[in-house]
Amino acid sequence: MFNLNELILMNVLPPVLLRLRDPNTKSPYHIFVFGMTGSGKTNSVKHIISSKRIKRSLLILDWAGEYGDINLLSLTPSDLSMESLEPTQIVDAFSAAYQLTRPQEAFMLRCLGSSCRISELIDRISHAPLRSASEAELREALLRRLEPLQSLMLFEGGQDLAALLEGKVRLDLSSLPFEARRLAVNIILRLIYNRVTSCGSHGLILVLEEAENVIPPRRFEDPPQGGEVIINELRKWGVSVIAIAQLPSQVSMFSFRNCEYIILHRVQLTALEADWLGLTPNDVIKLAKLPTGQALLIHRGLKRWIKIAPFKASSSRIEGNRLLTYHKFSSSKTDEVGQVSVRAPKSDDDRLSIIEGKLELLHEKLDEVTGHFKLFGELIHLLPYLEASKKGDYIVIGSKRYLSPEEEQVVIRLLSTAGIVDSALINGRRYWVVKPKHSGAC
């Protein structure tokens, strides 16, 4: 049967659909979104994650504060703790953010000893015993880069990560310096990995802006960095990742070629990037000229040109001193006393909402019909052992032999769809009396 769970309408005419999870195996899908600044990448992601059919938990790593218009719990890295990380994971996160050398990594690992806060790590580095002049240089180089972190209070809070992975949360990184953002994202990714591999993810959706800071490009012969390994592994643990970057060449080719969907907004691709994506020269030319909000959706080699409706944060807004409300399925706009003030034509977003509503109704009807078929299937083998007669407005169903409690429940479930059911046991035989709903029963 056609399954509408986590099915998202990306284009109205012709209809183009996207899923975040396999309908049969429930395996999560990864999505990559590429495009120039201002081409509509963030709008596309908002369109996906705000769908009414997405019931899973959500965590947005909001790099530039672009998701503040979504109704989510908003936190910062200062609210979290990184105490669950192993020392090697902490060093790996710092190395990914600051491109540390091998000697710097070894020196930091020696100073860590056990997992701790960033402020404690900086203090340990500044007071670490030195074994040589080269270690003194290592320490000074590390402190120059790490000391600015002390005033940021990163990961000094006590917020439980489990709460983040079970709700809908926006982690705001926009107030942090660039390298601190990179560090925060790499630490959070490792915290998530530890949590889901030990306790499960409950179907988390992770939105990863500026993905090049976690899964940078690499040559074929080079091993993947920690962030790339984690992104690939998260899928095994039920996590869907929506990764966003400007260019395919900014991230590891091996990651986006292993995802289920690629969304390309306006972007100027090189011949090599086009080859990676399986695009023709005409596709490349069209992509470079795409209007904002339009995109090319690639799914398992199939290409679809789509137009994504602008995301609307709320159906209400303040204009002057009056609250204006746009009715979802109406073309009029009314003020708070109910007077029509402006005629507003139906937008693509309104039409999209109508189509989504009709799809949901269809889904409910299909579920209802499926339930009836299942009941009839259970009842078929009992029909030879039942007899029916009509007494006025009532229908009497009797059993010809003893029925088990489970068999009786099957009969009751089916008869209850026709009307009010009463039953009695007479001479060892079960009888049911049904008064049809149309007969005036209350």
DSSP secondary structure letters along 321-367: TEEEEE-TT-SEEE-TTS-EEEE-PPPHHHHHHHHHHHHHHHHHHHH
Confidence band, pLDDT 50/70/90 cuts, at residue 407: confident
Is the pLDDT at 202 greater than 60, yes or no?
Answer: yes
Tokens of 231: 């992104």
Domains in the chain with CATH codes? 7-80+155-307 (3.40.50.300), 384-439 (3.90.1070)
The pLDDT tens digits of the residues spanning 162-194 come to: 777 888 999 999 999 999 999 999 999 999 999
Task: Out of 118-122, 248-252, 382-386, give the one with best mean pLDDT.
Answer: 248-252
How far apart (Å, rounded) are the C-alpha atoms in residues 247 and 276?
Answer: 12
What does the block give as tokens for 282? 């005409």
Give the separation between CA 280 and CA 289, rounded to whole angstroms: 15
In angstroms, the CA 53 to CA 178 distance is 35
Mean pLDDT of the chain: 82
Within 10 angstroms of residue 333's Cβ, the number of other Cβ atoms is 15
> Both tokens of residue 223?
């091993």
* Contacts of residue 399, Cβ cutoff 8 Å, sequence gap at least 6: 385, 386, 429, 430, 431
Which of 60, 18, 143 has the alpha carbon at shortest distance from 135? 143
- Within 13 A of 384's CA, how many CA atoms are on the CB side? 1
Where residue 414 falls among pLDDT bands split at 50, 70, 90? confident
Under DSSP, is residue 283 helix (H, G, I), strand (E, B) or coil?
A: helix
Give kind and range of the element (H or E) at residue 33: strand 31-34
CB neighbours of residue 77 within 10 Å: 27
In the predicted model, is pLDDT for residue 250 greater than 80? yes
| pLDDT exceeds 60 at position 324 | no
Query: How far apart (Å, rounded) are the C-alpha atoms in residues 3 and 9?
Result: 13
Q: Is 226 helix (H, G, I), strand (E, B) or coil?
A: helix
Query: Does the pLDDT value for residue 258 go beyond 70?
Result: yes
Average pLDDT over residues 116-129: 88
Compute the distance between CA of residue 30 and CA of residue 307 in angstroms, rounded to an integer.
Answer: 21
Confidence of residue 431 (pLDDT cuts 50, 70, 90): confident
Residue with tokens 């052992």: 385
Q: Is the pLDDT of residue 227 over 60?
A: yes
Query: Looking only at Cα atoms, what is the longest distance across the chain?
Result: 105
Share of the chain above pLDDT 70, in %: 81
**Gap between the Cα atoms of 63 and 212, Å rounded:** 12
Q: State CA 245 to chain mean position distance.
A: 17
**pLDDT digits 0-9 by tens, 361-382:** 666 666 666 665 666 666 677 7
Question: In the structure, what pLDDT confidence band is assigned to residue 326 with cuts at 50, 70 and 90?
Answer: very low
Res 345: pLDDT: 46
Kind plus residue range of the DSSP H or E element containing 121 = helix 118-126
Q: Which range among 22-26, 125-129, 158-162 has the greatest average pLDDT?
A: 125-129
Q: Report the pLDDT averaged over residues 201-219.
A: 90
pLDDT of residue 44 exceeding 70:
yes
| The token pair that represents 125 in the structure block | 């580095």
Indicate the range of 5-14, 30-39, 222-231, 304-313 predicted with least confidence.
Answer: 5-14
Q: Which one has a higher pLDDT value, 338 or 136?
A: 136
Query: Mean of the pLDDT values across residues 75-101?
Result: 91
